Amino acid sequence: MAEALVSLAVLLAGLAFLLALWRFLAGPTAADRVVAFDVMTVIGISFIVILALLEGRGIYLDAALVYALLSFLGVIAVARYLERGY
């Protein structure tokens, strides 16, 4: 039962990733793409957690930890570029 639900979760996360990817490819401005990029990183964290569950290895969570703490740096770097911060 739980297995089937987790598989369904993978499919839903993949669908969300696909929607965000569509926004990334469609644009229209760079800022829209940055939003889509941010969303995809967070979906990536979910992917990593689900993978850890599927494989049964808790050590995979460390990668999710790194993304959770560092993914906003990329967004801030782009945002500061857009507003001419450096």
Partner 1 sequence: MILTAMTLFLCAAMIGAALFAVLGRSLPIAILAAGLVSLVASILFLVMAAPDVAMTEAAIGSGLTTFLFFFVLGRVRRGEND
Partner 2 sequence: MAGLLDIVGGLLMVGGTAFLVFGGLGLVRMPDLFNRIHAGTKATTLGTLLTLAGAACLRPDWGWKLLLIAVFILSTNPLSAQVLARAAHRIGAAMSVKTRVDRLEEDQGA
Partner 3 sequence: MIKRVIALTLLAGLGLLFLGLLLDYRPDTDLNLSARYYAERTAPDLGAANIVTAIVVTYRGLDTLGEVTVLFLSATIVGLVLALGRRRGQAPAGLAPVGELLTTGSRMLTPLILLLGAYVFVNGHLTPGGGFQGGAILASGILLLLLADPLRHFSHGLISAVESLAGVFYVAIGLAGLVWAGGFLDNRILPLGDLGALFSAGAIPVIYSLIGLKVGAEFASMLASLAETEEL
CB 61 to partner 3: min, Å: 9
Is position 84 an interface residue for partner 3 (rule: CB under 8 A)?
yes
Is position 59 an interface residue for partner 3 (rule: CB under 8 A)?
yes
Rounded Cα distance between 3 and 34, Å, is 34
Q: Residues in the site for partner 2, rule: CB under 8 A? A: 1-2, 4-6, 8-10, 12-13, 15-20, 22-23, 29, 31-32, 34-36, 38-39, 42-43, 45-46, 49-50, 52-53, 58, 61-62, 64-65, 68-69, 71-72, 75-76, 78-80, 82-83, 85
Q: Write the Ramachandran bin of 75: left for phi over 0, alpha for psi from -120 to 50, otherwise beta.
A: alpha
- The residue written with tokens 């911060």 in the block is 85
Q: Residues in the site for partner 1, rule: CB under 8 A? A: 7, 10, 14, 17-18, 21, 24-25, 27, 30, 33-34, 37, 40-41, 44, 47-48, 51, 54-55, 57, 59-60, 62-63, 66-67, 70-71, 73-74, 77-78, 80-81, 84, 86
Rounded Cα distance between 69 and 67, Å, is 5
CA distances from 74 to 13, 27, 44, 48 (A): 22, 18, 15, 19
Collapsing DSSP states into helix, strand and coil, what is residue 84?
coil
